[in-house]
Amino acid sequence: MTETGPRGILFITGTGTGVGKTIVTAAVAALAAAAGQRTAVVKVAQTGVHDGPGSDTPDLAVITRLSGVTDTHELARFPDPLSPEAAARVSGLPPADFGRAAALIERLAASRDLVLVEGAGGLLVRYDPAGATLPDLAAALDAPALVVVPAGLGTLNHTALTLEALRARKIPAAGVVVGSWPGDAGLAERENLTDLQVLAGGPLAGLLPAGSSTLPGADFRAVARAGLAPALGGGRTGG
């Protein structure tokens, strides 16, 4: 059973863009669905995606392919690969609406066992001109946040800052997950595992190998089960 807030809501954020948030979201969703949990996934704002050629695959499509979860909800989409606020501004489209997002997530939580909310970019990226950030939405919904981090140099500072920002906003941290563990991990990556546990205050909530996104569904679920801690539905123990 995935550890969530009192209403079964879990936010998935990260130290920045490209750290593996979508893959971690898919892994948590895959294990929850395999355990029989009614699971929904929400993307408040997707940037860098449009409907023409050359566009990246939307995050929710990746999650569905890997996890099999089709109960997915995208609230805003912007074509430019920028922060949600900037992407809305340059496109001339309205910014993401956190009031609408909160209402949708609450409705979903009333009839689902688990609602996963994947953020864009890092924790404090702005969603609108007023400066709304993901912690504002998490606080309104009384939900914890899982933090996805990279393995290499720079991760310790960024992870510490992200966790500190969550504490300052009284958002419970549901754990730290390394989103992409390299097959050729060097000294920095190996030592970072020890230090990340210190920052997290205990064993990591997960570690997923690089390249997991290319696996078929059954193989991805096996990797998710091996890579995520019991609190997230997996069987990983230790650091």
Task: Point out the residues that are catalytic.
Answer: 43
CA 100 to chain centre: 20
- In our burial notation (b when 16+ CB lie closer than 10 A, e otherwise), range 47-58 reads bbbeeeeeeeeb
Encoding tokens for residue 159?
């992870």
Strand partners, 10: 116
Q: In the chain, which ranges are continuous DSSP H helix?
A: 21-34, 59-67, 84-91, 98-109, 134-140, 155-168, 187-200, 217-227
Assign residue 147 a region: left if phi > 0, alpha if psi is -120 to 50, beta otherwise?
A: beta
87 vs 55, 83, 92, CA distance in Å?
Answer: 15, 6, 9
Q: Which backbone phi and psi does 227 adopt, to 5 degrees?
A: -95, -20
Q: Which backbone phi and psi does 107 adopt, to 5 degrees?
A: -65, -45
CA distance 229 to 239: 10
